[in-house]
Structure 1
Amino acid sequence: MTLPKHARAVIIGGGVIGCSVAYHLTKLGWTDVVLLERKQLTSGTTWHAAGLIGQLRASSNMTKLAKYTADLYSTIEEETGVATGFRKVGSISVALTHERHEELRRTAAMARAFGVPVEEIDTAEIKRKYAHLNTSDVVGGVYLPSDGQGDPANIALAMAKGARQRGAQIFERTKATRVTRDGQRITAVDWASEDGSSGTITCDHVVNCAGMWGREVGQMLGVNVPLQACEHFYIVSEPIPGLEALPVLRVPDECAYYKEDAGKMMLGAFEPKSKPWGMNGIPETFEFDQLPEDFDHFEPILEAAVNRMPMLAEAGIHTFFNGPESFTPDNAYYLGQAREMENVWVAAGFNSIGIQSAGGAGMALAQWMEDGAKPFDLGDVDIARAQPFQRNRRYLKERVTETLGLLYADHYPYRQKATARGVRRTPFHQQLLERGAVMGEIAGWERANWYANEGQSPEYAYSWKRQNFFDSVAREHKAIRENVGMYDMSSFGKLRVEGPDSETFLNHVCGADMSVPVGKIVYTQFLNTRGGIEADVTVTRLTETCYLVVTPAATRAADQTWLQRHVGDKRVIVTDVTAGEGVLAVMGPNARQVMQAVSPDDFSNDANPFGTAQEIEIGLGTARVHRVSYVGELGWEIYIPADQAGHVFETLWEAGQDFGLTLCGMHAMDTCRIEKAFRHFGHDITCEDHVLEAGLGFAVKTAKPDFIGRDAVLQKREAGLQNRLVQFRLTDPEPLLYHHEPILRDGEIVGYLSSGAYGHHLGGAIGMGYVPCVGETVEQVLASTYEIDVAGVRVKAEASLRPMYDPTSARVRG
Structure 2
Amino acid sequence: MTFPTQAQIVVIGGGIIGCSTTYHLARDHKADVVLLEQGKLTSGSTWHAAGLVGQLRSSASITRVLKYSVDLYKTLKDETGLETGWKMTGCLRLATNQDRWTEFRRLATTAKSFGMDMHLLDAAEVKRMWPLMEVSDLVGASWLPTDGQASPSDITQSLAKGARMHGAKLFEEVRVTGFDITDGRITTVKTTKGDIACEKVVNCAGQWARQVGAMAGIDVPLQPVKHQYIITEKIDGLAADAPTIRDPDRRTYFKEEVGGLVMGGYEPNPLAWDTGLSGGDVPDDWEFRLFDDDFDHFEQHMTQAIARVPALEHIGVKQMINGPESFTPDGNFILGSAPECKNMFVGAGFNAFGIASGGGAGWVLAQWVVDGEAPLDLWVVDIRRFSGLHRDRRWVCDRTLEAYGKHYTIGFPHEEYLSGRPAIVSPLYDRLNSHGAVFGSKLGWERPNWFAPDGTEPKDIYSMGRQNWFAPVGDEHRHVREHVGIFDQSSFAKYEVSGPDAARALDWICANDVSKPAGRLTYTQLLNTRGGIEADLTVARLSDDLFYVVTGTGFRTHDRAWIADHIPDNFDVSIEDITETYGTLSLMGPNARKVLAAVTEADVSNAAFPFGHVREIGIAGATVRALRVTYVGELGWELHIPIEATGKVFDALMASGTPHGIRPVGYRALESLRLEKGYRAWGSDITPNDTPFEAGLGWAVKLRKNTDFVGRRALEKINGAPLKKRFAGFTVDDPDIVLVGRETILRNGEPVGYLSSGGYGYTVGKNIGYGYVRNADGVDDDFLGSGDYELVVAMEKTPARIHLEPLYDPKGDKVKG
TM-score normalised by L of structure 2 = 0.97
Between the aligned partners of 1:533 and 1:798, the Cα distance in structure 2 is: 27
Between the aligned partners of 2:214 and 2:284, the Cα distance in structure 1 is: 17
Q: Structure 1, residues 294-340: CA drift from partner, whole Å, max 9, x if none?
A: 22222122112111111111112222221100011111111111111
Shift of 1:106: 0.2
Amino acid at match of 1:368: W
Amino acid at match of 1:724: R
Between the aligned partners of 1:383 and 1:485, the Cα distance in structure 2 is: 35
2:220 pairs, out of 225, 229, 232, with 225
Between the aligned partners of 1:52 and 1:672, the Cα distance in structure 2 is: 42
Amino acid at match of 2:797: R
Q: Which runs of 5+ in 1 are unaligned?
A: 193-197
1:714 pairs, out of 713, 716, 722, with 716
Corresponding residue for 1:202?
Answer: 197
**Secondary structure of the structure 2 residue equivalent to 1:206:** strand
Corresponding residue for 2:245?
Answer: 249
Between the aligned partners of 1:251 and 1:430, the Cα distance in structure 2 is: 42
**Which region of structure 1 is more displaced relative to structure 2, 783-792 or 278-287?**
278-287
Q: Structure 1, residues 76-109: CA drift from partner, whole Å, max 9, x if none?
A: 1121111111000000101111111101100000
**Preserved contact between residue 203 and residue 348 of structure 2 (Cα < 8 Å):** yes
Between the aligned partners of 1:545 and 1:372, the Cα distance in structure 2 is: 29
Amino acid at match of 1:608: F
Between the aligned partners of 1:406 and 1:551, the Cα distance in structure 2 is: 30
**Which region of structure 1 is more displaced relative to structure 2, 697-706 or 26-35?**
26-35
**Secondary structure of the structure 2 residue equivalent to 1:496:** strand
Q: Residue 290 in 1 paired to residue 293 in 2?
A: no
Corresponding residue for 2:91?
Answer: 91
Between the aligned partners of 2:43 and 2:457, the Cα distance in structure 1 is: 49
Corresponding residue for 2:72?
Answer: 72
Between the aligned partners of 1:780 and 1:688, the Cα distance in structure 2 is: 22
Q: Residue 495 in 1 paired to residue 490 in 2?
A: no
Corresponding residue for 1:677?
Answer: 678
Q: Structure 1, residues 663-689: CA drift from partner, whole Å, max 9, x if none?
A: 111111111101111000011111110
Shift of 1:31: 4.7
Corresponding residue for 2:804?
Answer: 801
Between the aligned partners of 1:19 and 1:351, the Cα distance in structure 2 is: 18
- The 5 A counterparts of 1:501-512 are 501-512=501-512
Q: Which runs of 5+ in 2 are unaligned?
A: none
Shift of 1:17: 0.5
1:750 pairs, out of 749, 752, 756, with 752
Between the aligned partners of 2:812 and 2:334, the Cα distance in structure 1 is: 40
- The 5 A counterparts of 1:591-610 are 591-610=592-611
- The 5 A counterparts of 1:144-155 are 144-155=144-155
2:739 pairs, out of 733, 737, 740, with 737
Between the aligned partners of 1:572 and 1:441, the Cα distance in structure 2 is: 33
**Preserved contact between residue 329 and residue 397 of structure 2 (Cα < 8 Å):** no
Corresponding residue for 1:617?
Answer: 618
- The 5 A counterparts of 1:459-498 are 459-498=459-498
Between the aligned partners of 1:292 and 1:475, the Cα distance in structure 2 is: 56
Between the aligned partners of 1:706 and 1:796, the Cα distance in structure 2 is: 45
Q: Structure 1, residues 627-656: CA drift from partner, whole Å, max 9, x if none?
A: 110011111111110111111111122333
**Secondary structure of the structure 2 residue equivalent to 1:609:** coil
Between the aligned partners of 1:460 and 1:273, the Cα distance in structure 2 is: 23
**Preserved contact between residue 634 and residue 810 of structure 2 (Cα < 8 Å):** no
- The 5 A counterparts of 1:566-715 are 566-568=566-568, 569-704=570-705, 705-715=707-717
Shift of 1:706: 1.1
Amino acid at match of 1:225: V
**Which region of structure 1 is more displaced relative to structure 2, 593-602 or 389-398?**
593-602
**Secondary structure of the structure 1 residue equivalent to 2:495:** strand
Between the aligned partners of 2:778 and 2:247, the Cα distance in structure 1 is: 47
Corresponding residue for 1:106?
Answer: 106
Q: 1:628 to 1:236 in 2, by over 3 A?
A: same
1:789 pairs, out of 789, 792, 817, with 792
Shift of 1:506: 1.2
Amino acid at match of 1:635: G
Q: Residue 394 in 1 paired to residue 384 in 2?
A: no
Corresponding residue for 1:725?
Answer: 727
**Which region of structure 1 is more displaced relative to structure 2, 236-245 or 544-553?**
236-245
Between the aligned partners of 1:319 and 1:807, the Cα distance in structure 2 is: 67
Between the aligned partners of 1:462 and 1:313, the Cα distance in structure 2 is: 36
**Preserved contact between residue 735 and residue 766 of structure 2 (Cα < 8 Å):** yes
Amino acid at match of 1:611: G
Q: 1:710 to 1:767 in 2, by over 3 A?
A: same
Between the aligned partners of 2:502 and 2:400, the Cα distance in structure 1 is: 42
Amino acid at match of 1:204: E
CA RMSD for the aligned pairs? 1.4
Q: Structure 1, residues 7-45: CA drift from partner, whole Å, max 9, x if none?
A: 111111111100101111111243521111111111110
Q: Residue 270 in 1 paired to residue 266 in 2?
A: yes
Shift of 1:713: 2.4
Q: Structure 1, residues 451-505: CA drift from partner, whole Å, max 9, x if none?
A: 1121222121111111111111111111111111111111111111111121111
**Preserved contact between residue 9 and residue 201 of structure 2 (Cα < 8 Å):** yes
TM-score normalised by L of structure 1 = 0.97
Q: 1:807 to 1:722 in 2, by over 3 A?
A: farther
- The 5 A counterparts of 1:125-164 are 125-164=125-164
Shift of 1:810: 5.7
**Secondary structure of the structure 2 residue equivalent to 1:424:** coil
**Preserved contact between residue 524 and residue 537 of structure 2 (Cα < 8 Å):** yes
**Secondary structure of the structure 2 residue equivalent to 1:427:** coil
Q: Residue 365 in 1 paired to residue 368 in 2?
A: no
Shift of 1:808: 7.3
**Preserved contact between residue 447 and residue 667 of structure 2 (Cα < 8 Å):** yes
**Secondary structure of the structure 1 residue equivalent to 2:215:** helix
Corresponding residue for 2:767?
Answer: 765
Between the aligned partners of 2:179 and 2:778, the Cα distance in structure 1 is: 54
Corresponding residue for 1:172?
Answer: 172
Corresponding residue for 1:320?
Answer: 320
**Secondary structure of the structure 1 residue equivalent to 2:381:** coil
Q: 1:312 to 1:586 in 2, by over 3 A?
A: same
Amino acid at match of 2:266: F
**Preserved contact between residue 490 and residue 582 of structure 2 (Cα < 8 Å):** yes
Between the aligned partners of 2:131 and 2:601, the Cα distance in structure 1 is: 77
Shift of 1:364: 0.3
Amino acid at match of 1:304: Q
**Preserved contact between residue 113 and residue 751 of structure 1 (Cα < 8 Å):** yes
Between the aligned partners of 1:809 and 1:342, the Cα distance in structure 2 is: 50
**Secondary structure of the structure 2 residue equivalent to 1:99:** helix
**Secondary structure of the structure 2 residue equivalent to 1:622:** strand
**Secondary structure of the structure 1 residue equivalent to 2:164:** helix
Shift of 1:710: 2.1
Amino acid at match of 2:657: G
Shift of 1:273: 2.4
**Preserved contact between residue 208 and residue 217 of structure 1 (Cα < 8 Å):** yes
**Preserved contact between residue 37 and residue 175 of structure 2 (Cα < 8 Å):** yes
Between the aligned partners of 2:560 and 2:618, the Cα distance in structure 1 is: 30
**Which region of structure 1 is more displaced relative to structure 2, 354-363 or 282-291?**
282-291
Shift of 1:283: 2.3
Corresponding residue for 1:195?
Answer: none
Between the aligned partners of 2:811 and 2:56, the Cα distance in structure 1 is: 40
Shift of 1:809: 8.9
